[in-house]
Structure 1
């Protein structure tokens, strides 16, 4: 077995991992894109709709509709941009943060149960790989 790792080797495993995360993250009955938007707002603070649309790979009208739904559900709110009074930022609400926290808890519990079914060698290999995987994600998202 070669020690060289390729994107072709990694992609199917990552796709299955993404599927797992989506399947176990159901709290708040929020769409995957909606949850991603709320989580982004929680990490980065208020964002303009155009920036959210670009980050999520959707059109501005589609993001406006999503933000309207999230706002109607009390998960986000619009606020004046202090740097540009003409601009509007979308921010997460306390309820939005609660939904994201609940989804993270669901994922953590599902992964904890799965880790419990693995032997110590596999758990150690996963633990050793986490820093490199984190850097991989940064390399992709920051490019």
Structure 2
């Protein structure tokens, strides 16, 4: 007989709802930096894939070319990104995250770590362990989604 916690199948609908709720909480945690969700998403994307062309950012952020241009102009004005000519194609512009832009993302992550750690303090040891045990599978899910 399988232990109860191993016999339960993944309820994808329930999983998606929990992830949506956690994402909403994570996004709304207070922060010193008051940037739009899309601007923060651009910075997050650039922390992993800098530099990127504006057309690539348009696709990853799922906004129009004019919207991404306006966001990048504002982020550049705030010193969070830089636009430079593509050395391989003089017609194209590459967007680079600046150290100040990376610091915004790092400080938000540290703030979230502190807040979520406070929430996790209210979980039982078994609940904390269950989350810890799920992290490798969640990482793998992110990898699979990134490859799709």
Does TM, scored on the shorter chain, surpass 0.5?
yes
Distance 2:146 2:11 in 1: 18
Distance 2:75 2:57 in 1: 13
TM-score if structure 2 supplies the norm length?
0.90
Mapped contact 1:75–1:93 kept (Cα < 8 A): yes
Structure 2 unmatched ranges of 5 or more = none
Q: 1:25 to 1:40 in 2, by over 3 A?
A: farther
Q: After the TM superposition, which of the residue ranges 13-22 and 28-37 deviates more from structure 2? A: 28-37
Distance 1:75 1:26 in 2: 16
TM-score if structure 1 supplies the norm length?
0.93
Alignment RMSD: 1.5
Secondary structure of the equivalent of 1:28? Answer: coil
Report matched runs for 1:98-137 at 5 Å.
Answer: 98-137=103-142
Structure 1 unmatched ranges of 5 or more = none
Mapped contact 1:49–1:90 kept (Cα < 8 A): yes
TM-superposed CA distance for 1:55, in Å, is 0.3
TM-superposed CA distance for 1:138, in Å, is 1.9
Aligned counterpart for 2:85 among listed residues 75, 80, 85: 80
Distance 1:44 1:75 in 2: 15
Q: 1:108 to 1:121 in 2, by over 3 A?
A: same
User: In the alignment, is residue 94 of structure 1 matched against residue 92 of structure 2?
Assistant: no
Q: After the TM superposition, which of the residue ranges 72-81 and 82-91 deviates more from structure 2? A: 82-91
Secondary structure of the equivalent of 1:89? Answer: strand
